[in-house]
C-alpha cells in the first residue's frame, strides 16, 4: 500500500500510462478512506490484475423463425461462428488478448450473419466460417479490415438501409 502522499509512479508505476497512474492513485486514496478496506482492496487487486482485451468480437447469435423477412444470424442455434472464432484465436496464441463472444441481436439482420469488432467499431456482414481466417489474419492480427465483408456505414443503425424490409 502507498504511504500518505506517495503516488503510484513514485513506487514503481513508471511503465503505466499517466491516466492509469491517476486512476490507481485515486483508488488508493479511496481505499485509505474506506470503511471496508479489505473488500475494496480485493476488488482493486482483481481489477488491476485482469488484463484488458485488445479487441472484442461480438458475433450475433439471434434466431428467428424460418422465412422471417429480416433474416436470422444463427438459424440452427449452434453458435458455430463464435466457437470457431474462439478456437482459431487460441490456435494463434490470442486467447486472453482477443475475446470472441456470442451476442444477442446486433440489429443488422438483413446483412447476417453479422459481427462487430471493438474497439475498432468495424462491422462485418454475410460472414461464413470460410471468412474467419481472413478476418483474424488481416484485421485482428494485421490491423486491416476485410473490405469485402464490411457493412456500409449507410446501413448501420438506420431505417433508411435499402436492405431492410419496408413496413
pLDDT tens digits along 28-86: 555 556 556 666 666 666 655 555 889 999 999 988 888 888 888 888 888 999 999 99
Rg (CA), the chain: 21
The span from the CA of 92 to the CA of 124, in Å, is 21
> Which pLDDT does position 66 carry in this prediction?
84
**Predicted pLDDT of residue 129:** 94
Q: 3-class DSSP state for residue 148? A: helix
For the domain covering 55-155, report its CATH number: 3.40.30.10
The confidence band for 101, taking pLDDT boundaries of 50, 70 and 90, is: very high
Domain range list for the chain? 9-49, 55-155
Specify the range with the lowest mean pLDDT, choosing from 21-25, 109-113, 134-138. 21-25
Contact 155, 163 (CB under 8 A): yes
Question: What does pTM read for this prediction?
Answer: 0.67
Distance of CA 35 to CAs 24, 92, 120, Å?
Answer: 19, 45, 40
Amino acid at each position: 500500500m502507498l504511504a500518505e502522499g506517495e503516488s503510484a509512479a513514485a513506487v514503481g508505476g513508471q511503465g503505466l500510462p499517466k491516466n492509469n497512474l491517476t486512476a490507481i492513485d485515486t483508488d488508493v486514496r479511496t481505499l485509505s478512506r474506506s470503511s471496508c478496506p479489505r473488500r475494496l482492496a480485493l476488488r482493486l487487486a482483481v481489477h488491476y490484475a485482469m488484463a484488458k482485451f485488445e479487441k472484442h468480437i461480438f458475433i450475433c447469435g439471434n434466431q428467428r423463425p424460418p422465412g422471417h423477412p429480416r433474416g436470422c444470424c444463427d438459424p440452427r442455434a449452434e453458435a458455430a461462428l463464435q466457437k470457431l472464432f474462439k478456437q482459431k484465436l487460441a490456435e494463434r496464441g490470442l486467447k486472453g488478448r482477443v475475446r470472441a463472444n456470442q451476442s444477442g441481436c446486433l440489429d443488422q439482420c438483413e446483412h447476417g450473419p453479422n459481427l462487430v469488432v471493438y474497439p475498432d467499431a468495424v462491422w462485418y456482414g454475410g460472414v461464413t466460417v470460410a471468412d474467419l481466417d481472413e478476418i483474424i489474419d488481416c484485421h485482428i492480427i494485421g490491423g486491416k479490415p476485410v473490405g469485402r465483408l464490411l457493412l456500409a456505414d449507410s446501413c448501420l443503425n438506420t431505417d433508411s438501409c435499402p436492405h431492410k424490409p419496408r413496413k
